Amino acid sequence: MEFSSQPKTPSRYGKDGQERTGDVVTVTPLSVKMLLSAKKDDPKSPYQIDGVDMHTVVIVGLILEVVPSQKSVNYKIDDGSECVDVVQWTLGAEQNSELKDGVYVRVAGQIKEGNEGKELNAFQIEIIKDFNEITSHHLAVITAHLSRVKGPLPISHDQLQNPGSQTLSPPISPSILAGGRTMSSGTGGQSFSTTAHAAEAEYSFGGIVETGRFARCLNDCIKAFQALDLPGGSTRDDILLYLKGNYTDLEVGNAITRLYDDGKICIGNTEEHFRIA
């Protein structure tokens, strides 16, 4: 693990400032200005920012213009730092009518060179209905940038007890993290669900009692580890998939860290795998 050495616990971002998704680093939150500043020396290599390869990236911004065509829809999106052209290939599928001028969206995709400069080829576009997510995304952009240029950022015990104080961007749909291509968007596509299902609302260890959402997440993660019971252990992504989007990847990562610290789980075959102790 790169986040810390004693003990070796999970982190949301590696030392390159990109979000961990199991064994593959794929997702990076960016501002549009950062996206447009990306460079690459070799045409066949990925774009880089702060000297780090960019794979799937995420931006949040306001739709200024929508231009549909036969096989794609082009959006001009502004996040307050710059504007960028976003292309979503529809392959003849019906355009989502909710994606229109004046709507804030979260876009996941890959940086490409278009006819008029850099553009974002979108895998997924989702409408933002809670404006707190905009602030959350900008905080994630800053955190990832600092991780790339300054090294991994520590998570304090207070933050582990209050995960809402460091909430970043909600997770990208599993199809994107797996490298898949989804043409659905908005309310008709994958959703960034963060609604917890019914579970115990209390968790205690060593005289410290947790209540509320974080307690539910801790207890549900324990149940997930027990139910999966994989010989080499389960990764954070295994737990996320088992919990079916009821918690964000950050919440699950914090819960795994806490469970490890409390001795409830231990490292499995690799430093990314954990099992019930």
Mean pLDDT per 10-residue interval, the chain, length 277 residues = 31 45 62 94 87 90 92 92 91 80 92 90 89 89 86 57 45 36 34 36 75 86 92 90 85 85 88 88
Calculate the alpha carbon distances from 128 to 19, 194, 203 in Å. Answer: 21, 13, 32
Question: Do 5 and 112 sit in the same domain of this protein?
Answer: yes
What pTM value is reported for the model?
0.51
My answer on whether 227 and 178 are in the same domain is no
Instruction: Please tell me whether residues 216 and 99 are part of one structural domain.
Output: no
Residues 180, 53 share a domain = yes
State the residue range of the domain holding 273.
Answer: 193-277
- E strands along the chain, which residues? 19-21, 24-29, 48-49, 52-53, 56-68, 72-78, 83-89, 104-114, 117-127, 202-205, 208-211, 265-267, 274-276
92 within domain boundaries: yes
We report the CATH number of the domain holding residue 38 as: 2.40.50.140
In terms of domains, do 241 and 118 share one?
no
Which residues, 6 or more positions from 203, have their beta carbon under 8 angstroms from its beta carbon? 209, 210, 211, 214, 215, 218, 219
| 128 found inside a domain | yes
